[in-house]
Amino acid sequence: MDPLAAIRETFFQECEEQLAELESGLLAMEGGDQDPETINAVFRAVHSIKGGAGAFSLEALIRFAHVFETALDEMRSGRLAPSNDVLKSMLRAADVLADLVRAAHAGDEAEHPGAATLAEELRTMSGAAGAEDESEEDWGDFEFQPMAVAVEGAEAPAAAPAGFKVAFKPRADLYAKANEAALLLRELTRLGHAEVELDAHDVPPLNEIDPEAAYLSWTVTLTGDADETSIREVFEFVDGDCELEVTPLGGSAESEGGEPAFDLSSLLARVQGDAPAEAAPEAPVEAFEPVAPPPPAPVVAPVVAAAPPPAAPPAAANETAAEGQAAGGPRKTEAGATIRVDLDRVDRLIDLVGELVINQAVLAQRVMEAGLARASAVAMGLDELEQLTREIQDSVMAIRAQPVKSVFQRMPRLVREVAAMTGKPVRLVTEGEGTEVDKTVIERLADPLTHMIRNAIDHGLENPEKRAAAGKPAEGVVKLSAAHRSGRIVIEVSDDGGGINRERVKGIAIEKGLISAEATLSDEEIDNLIFMPGFSTAAEVSDISGRGVGMDVVRRSIQALGGRITISSRPGKGSTFTMSLPLTLAVLDGMVVSVNNQTLVAPITAIVETLQPKAEDVHSLGGHARVISIRGGFVPLIDVGMALGYRNEPLPATQGVALLIEGEGGARAALLCDAIQGQRQVVIKSLEANYRQVPGVAAATILGDGRVALILDIDTIVTVSRGDMRKAG
Amino acid sequence: MNQIISQNGQNQAGGMKELISFRIGAQEFCVDIMAIREIRGWTAATALPQSPSFVKGVINLRGAVLPIVDLASRLGFESTEASDRNVIIVAQIGEQVVGLLVDAVSDILTVTDDVIQPTPDVASETAKSFIRGLIAMDGRMISLIGLDRVLPDMELEAA
């Protein structure tokens, strides 16, 4: 990637962070947060996006961000009250801004449909609040008074060429934000013929110099066609961090020439303690040399870029240099010290650690085989090595762990949109945003969560009239929570709506032929019908949740992550969907079994219990089909060796061990294996990377002896064994 | 001869090509050396259920799961009863890495493109899909194998 593209990519990554900050800030304010720091954070987020967008000339983004920022500034200064309506508009503006950022990222130049109207709305808001402020050029941070530019310039002597005198005095802040005076001056020289004059009057003796302060100022005499606006544009992004004065040439003449320029030798002399500091005036520097910056600048700028000013709060140290440039000030202190790392590198590291664990196990096995005593120095050293490798593995896995916040924070917008479409007022409550889980899990959670929240609002919540009739507040509540529970992450989506209408669900299931009319089903079983493929309760397919994907798709995507989803519903009180997911996709707790001399691994999460089948419990249903009775119920007994094609004759049930498993949708089956070897945590290896998917096999792993073992895909084995008869029915 | 060069596609540095030759039974074959990652001894493979007969299974190659293709069986000969004397040629085919089970690796050949003769028109589909050309050398015939078809067709057999 070329450097500019890389910077651009970083900018968009940061935009996402800023957008998240913006939204959470606005939501906090909507929730009654009065802290001025919140509005400041919101303002800074928009300001930074605008600043970055300016650097990449993303016009549509700049325009909208500017209007948005102006409105926020009105709010910040207290002229615009943060009423609920105002905040709602702001939140919509944040959505539009997010769309614009994404469009810009994709290089999409198309006009955003909502941007213009919303910009108008914002303009009206800020206009109504501060009628005196009509200037389009108010960039929020102005600290100097715009000059009343009289047309005196035009009356200047004909001999004097058209042009401006630009007095530019950077403040320390300018450098602290990693801006560079030399670059600004170079930019200025592009506008016409420029004579740059340095004023080093304020430079103190070397021993008194504060490396982070700004002492220099410049006067640029610019001749050419440039107008004042374009000159001011050069300094657009250092607004407020410098003193800038633009006067037309030939106007009031002041401080011509006779100012002393920077004189290093006299400065040195001063340090040495003699010679009064009276430097001789020098001729203005002819045509500013862009490559060589003015002397102290290289000292100041790199120092600032590398290390934050000591005066700044410690949090500033956490900002990358790029952020420092874009952000309008120190960010909230809660941001931890972070670095950006390519995901591929982390994955490579995880792979390597996985191999280390395997190698360590192989080594341990060899040592055992060699007949060394457990108490021998070698064996004890190996034990320590094992502990270390486990710790390394845990720490490496933790690198991939991220708070679920990144997916949770996409939901408020969704809720707003769906609420607007359905006309149901909805409040989203989130809990446990800081709960950490593997990045891949997070990424793949977004779609199912989106779908479930849509469903909760569209189908779960009643309309306001019904709610009123039921004595509930008009505003429905959708709750999204995450928590760690016994080595897994549990995510719940609940609503306080009407709950599942079991009569209707059953009716539909019968109508669609999913169950027979005579079937007696428990409440729980009825609730679970909504996960059946081809089930959709919406009487008319709505725009929101009726997109051809049902809850069965949600369940499948959760299962693909090694998770489970369950529903509990109380009529009139609401429904709760509970998803339980593994914390990582890289390791799995497995039951190691042998089948026909092959070693296989069954995921422990699916196993309910293991049992030794007794002859009297196993019944044949003809052919190879067998069932086993477990505490009065019958479940199919599946010979794993047969299902995988390892053998053609079923193993006599009494010679094996059965794993009672619960697969898709709670269907139970007993898997017959030859023997159980033990329980082990295994590193999941892809079979598809070098080969392809194999039916009945979820993935592979490498065991302690260095050999590959296959991880069973229990659901496929059950489905395949069920044969076509059940599939058709 | 120009025709042959264009058929063979790549014209490496002045038409010179390095090939690695190996034996399966009495026959000699070769593949482009650029596709070969390493050569290693046979280790027992874990059988894969519901796989074509020419897929011997998978082995652990330093943490990666590597499928082993019995090249003899793939080319339509008797399948190999693998033992310690057999050799696995680890080859890169597109994005995937595959182990090819052969009897022995014999030589590295440096040939120019014009030495490679086109495959005569024979009826065998197997020959047509794998053999890219024939090389006559010291009275022996060495078949140049294209590796892109060695793994089973994903689209056709994926469940």
Domain end residue (candidates: A143, A171, A198): A143
In a domain, A656, yes or no: yes
Element counts in chain B: helices (H) and strands (E): 4, 11
A689 and B63: CB-CB below 8 Å? no
CA pair distance A664, A153, nearest whole angstrom: 82
Instruction: Please tell me the predicted confidence (pLDDT) of residue A1.
Output: 55
In a domain, A23, yes or no: yes
Which of B37, B42, B46, B95 best tests the A interface by mutation, with the highest count of A CBs <10 A? Answer: B46
Which residue type does A484 have? H
% of residues, chain A, pLDDT over 90: 6
Number of folded domains that form chain A: 5
- The nearest CA of chain B is from the CA of A703 a distance in Å of 10
- pTM for this model (two decimals): 0.53
A656 and A598 within one domain: yes
Domain end residue (candidates: A273, A304, A329): A273
CA pair distance B102, A576, nearest whole angstrom: 58
Higher pLDDT pick, A144 / A188: A188
- The nearest CA of chain B is from the CA of A393 a distance in Å of 15
Instruction: Please tell me the predicted confidence (pLDDT) of residue B8.
Output: 43
A395 and A447 within one domain: no
Instruction: Please tell me the predicted confidence (pLDDT) of residue A271.
Output: 52
In a domain, A443, yes or no: yes
Instruction: Please tell me the predicted confidence (pLDDT) of residue A278.
Output: 45
- Of A70, A76, A90, give the one whose Cα is nearest residue A140: A70
Average pLDDT on A621-634 reads 83
A482 and A355 within one domain: no
A352 and A259 within one domain: no
A184 and A130 within one domain: no
Q: Which of A358, A695, A710 sits opposite B46 (nearest CB)?
A: A710
Pairing of strands A708-712, A626-630: unpaired
CATH number at A44 reads 1.20.120.160
The single-letter DSSP state of residue B47 is P
CATH number at A220 reads 3.30.70
A644 and B49: CB-CB below 8 Å? yes
Domain end residue (candidates: A247, A273, A299): A273
In a domain, A474, yes or no: yes
A689 and B64: CB-CB below 8 Å? yes
In a domain, A308, yes or no: no
Q: Is the pLDDT of residue A11 over 80?
A: yes
Instruction: Please tell me the predicted confidence (pLDDT) of residue A480.
Output: 93
CB < 8 Å to A352, chain B: 63
- Of A362, A396, A401, A412, give the one whose Cα is nearest residue A382: A362
Average pLDDT on A19-43 reads 82
B48 and A690: CB-CB below 8 Å? no
A692 and B49: CB-CB below 8 Å? no
Assembly ipTM: 0.81
Higher pLDDT pick, A462 / A724: A462
Q: Which of B48, B64, B151 sits opposite A694 (nearest CB)?
A: B48
* A691 in B contact zone (CB under 8 Å): yes
Average pLDDT on B23-42 reads 91
- The nearest CA of chain A is from the CA of B83 a distance in Å of 17
The count of other CB atoms within 10 Å of the CB of residue A677 is 16
Per-residue pLDDT band for B89 (boundaries 50, 70, 90) equals very high
Average pLDDT on A478-497 reads 87
CA pair distance A639, A650, nearest whole angstrom: 6
Domain of A724, in residue numbers: 587-728
Residue in A with minimal Cα distance to B150: A691
pLDDT in tens, A365-382: 788 888 877 778 888 888
Q: Is the pLDDT of residue A154 over 50?
A: no
Least trusted range by pLDDT, from A583-597, A638-652, B69-83, B114-128: B114-128
Residue in B with minimal Cα distance to A351: B63
Per-residue pLDDT band for B139 (boundaries 50, 70, 90) equals confident
A positions 626-685 inside 8 Å of B (CB): 644-646, 685
* Three state DSSP letters for A437-491: EEHHHHHHHHHHHHHHHHHHHHHHCCCHHHHHHCCCCCCEEEEEEEEEECCEEEE
A724 and A596 within one domain: yes
Q: ∠ at Cα A504 (A503, A510), nearest 5°? A: 90
| Chain mean pLDDT for chain A | 76
Residue in B with minimal Cα distance to A716: B159
Instruction: Please tell me the predicted confidence (pLDDT) of residue A265.
Output: 56
B97 and A690: CB-CB below 8 Å? yes
pLDDT in tens, B93-129: 888 899 999 999 998 999 888 888 888 877 677 777 8
Least trusted range by pLDDT, from A397-411, A536-550, A656-670, B131-145: A536-550
